[in-house]
């Protein structure tokens, strides 16, 4: 599709309430996400912007300190910065509360230790973050936001998150199927147990309270899994519904972002998640001649002084912007030590 004037972007996305902004690191995702959200809010359309990047860039761009709770930036703009550590802590605190309600109190120190270690297990943060994102997605759509903009972490990670609801749904299905098999076995065991009752009343007295607790526990576990499955299914459906969700890929006009954007589109299309638009950021306007560059260079030199003041304990090395991408070992080594 041809190049479009930028104001068309806000018109194109106006009917899709969910907007995901993806792209390679540093290309301008946060800037684009915050710009879209700010624009819609300025048009008095209730907008929520959600950042999944722990680097606090969204807060920096909006010039407000954000947290896991919604912050009202303007009457029409709310922002939230999902902090993986806080989310994981809250998630495991919930798990601990659930276990505590049925576990033997003597076991709790061991269980707590196990949960503490599980927090740093690979994928724990990602899973907790995904669940939290899906919750925000579903509740924001059910709530009365006209736009929900997700400012995501760099592409690879984002793509995994977008595909994960399906995977998590399948995974939860597996757990539930396993649970159903075990439940069948238990009902057979219970029948055998009641058969034994006629022969051994004392044994049954001991066995029954445990059976009761176990079935409670299973019911609890199943209900948690069912709820989670429902959440992922709903989020997955929203993500795949093009009338609801638009994925916008941001890139710069450079070779590496181009290659990554191509790969991202292939991956997204494989998962039936076609991007809605591509934003090419940081383009140099052909009308911006000497004066523009002089002002930009001056501004950078001012910032360089500030950088030197801030990092007095470290050596600082400047790399100047080149006319083209720097690729291949010769050009790369030449960047540091030019061959004279």
Ligand X SMILES: Nc1ncnc2c1ncn2[C@@H]1O[C@H](COP(=O)(O)OP(=O)(O)OP(=O)(O)O)[C@@H](O)[C@H]1O
In the complex, the residues that contact ligand X under the rule CB under 6 A are: 23, 25-31, 53, 57, 154, 281-282
Q: Which is nearer to ligand X, 231 or 249 (CB)?
A: 249
Question: How do strand 71-74 and strand 18-23 relate by DSSP bridges?
Answer: unpaired
Integer Cα distance of 246 and 17 in angstroms: 8
Radius of gyration (C-alpha) of the chain in whole angstroms:
27
Residues in the chain, total: 340
> Does the protein bind Mg ion through residue 245 (CB under 5 A)?
no
Q: Which is nearer to ligand X, 16 or 30 (CB)?
A: 30
Number of helices and strands in the chain (H, E):
11, 7
Residue 152 contact partner, candidates ligand X, Mg ion, none, CB within 5 to 8 A by sort of partner: none
> Does the protein bind Mg ion through residue 31 (CB under 5 A)?
no
Residue 154 contact partner, candidates ligand X, Mg ion, none, CB within 5 to 8 A by sort of partner: ligand X
- The phi, psi pair for 300, rounded to 5°, reads -65, -40
77-96 residues in contact with Mg ion (CB under 5 A) are none
What SS3 state is found at 104? coil
**Pair 335, 322: CB distance under 8 Å:** yes
Q: In this structure, what DSSP letter does residue 121 have?
A: S
Residue whose C-alpha is closest to residue 19's, from 29, 6, 28, 27 = 29
Residue whose C-alpha is closest to residue 270's, from 162, 171, 165, 168 = 162
Minimum CB separation of residue 52 from Mg ion in Å reads: 9
Q: Which is nearer to ligand X, 29 or 91 (CB)?
A: 29
> Does the protein bind Mg ion through residue 30 (CB under 5 A)?
yes
Stretch that binds Mg ion, among 45-53, 76-84, 238-246, 277-285 (CB under 5 A): 45-53
Per-residue burial over 287-298, b = 16 or more CB atoms within 10 Å of its CB, e = otherwise: eeeeeeeeeeee
Minimum CB separation of residue 73 from Mg ion in Å reads: 17
Q: Which is nearer to ligand X, 231 or 268 (CB)?
A: 268
Q: Which is nearer to Mg ion, 207 or 278 (CB)?
A: 278
Stretch that binds Mg ion, among 36-44, 49-57, 221-229, 303-311 (CB under 5 A): 49-57
Q: Which is nearer to ligand X, 243 or 305 (CB)?
A: 305
Q: Summarize as ranges the residues that interact with Mg ion (CB under 5 A).
A: 29-30, 53, 57
């Amino acid at each position: 599709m041809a190049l479009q004037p930028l104001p068309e972007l806000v018109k194109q996305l106006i009917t899709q309430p969910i907007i995901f902004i993806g792209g390679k690191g540093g290309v301008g995702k946060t800037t684009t996400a915050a710009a879209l959200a700010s624009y819609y809010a300025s048009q008095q359309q209730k907008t929520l912007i959600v950042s999944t990047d722990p680097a606090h860039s969204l807060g920096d761009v909006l010039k407000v300190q954000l947290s896991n709770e919604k912050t009202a930036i303007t009457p029409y703009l709310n922002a939230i910065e999902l902090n993986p550590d806080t989310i994981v802590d809250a998630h495991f605190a919930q798990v601990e509360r659930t276990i505590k309600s049925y576990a033997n109190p003597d076991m709790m120190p061991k269980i707590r230790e196990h949960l503490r270690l599980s927090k740093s297990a690979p994928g724990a943060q990602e899973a907790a973050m995904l669940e939290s994102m899906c919750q925000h997605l579903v509740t924001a759509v059910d709530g009365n936001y006209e736009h929900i903009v997700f400012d995501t972490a760099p592409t690879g990670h984002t793509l995994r998150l977008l595909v994960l609801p399906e995977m998590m749904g399948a995974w939860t299905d597996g757990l539930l199927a396993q649970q159903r098999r075990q439940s069948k076995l238990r009902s057979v065991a219970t029948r055998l147990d009641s058969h034994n009752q006629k022969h051994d009343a004392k044994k049954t007295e001991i066995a029954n309270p445990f059976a009761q607790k176990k079935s409670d526990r299973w019911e609890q576990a199943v209900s948690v899994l069912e709820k989670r499955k429902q959440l992922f299914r709903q989020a997955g459906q929203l993500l795949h519904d093009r009338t609801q969700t638009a994925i916008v890929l941001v890139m710069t006009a450079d070779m590496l972002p181009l290659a990554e954007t191509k790969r991202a589109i292939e991956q997204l299309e494989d998962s039936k998640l076609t991007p809605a638009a591509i934003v090419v950021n940081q383009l140099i306007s052909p009308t911006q001649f000497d004066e523009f560059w002089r002002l930009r260079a001056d501004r950078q030199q001012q910032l360089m002084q500030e950088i030197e003041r801030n990092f007095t304990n470290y050596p600082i090395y400047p790399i100047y912007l080149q006319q083209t991408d720097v690729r291949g070992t010769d050009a790369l080594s030449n960047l540091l030590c030019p061959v004279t």
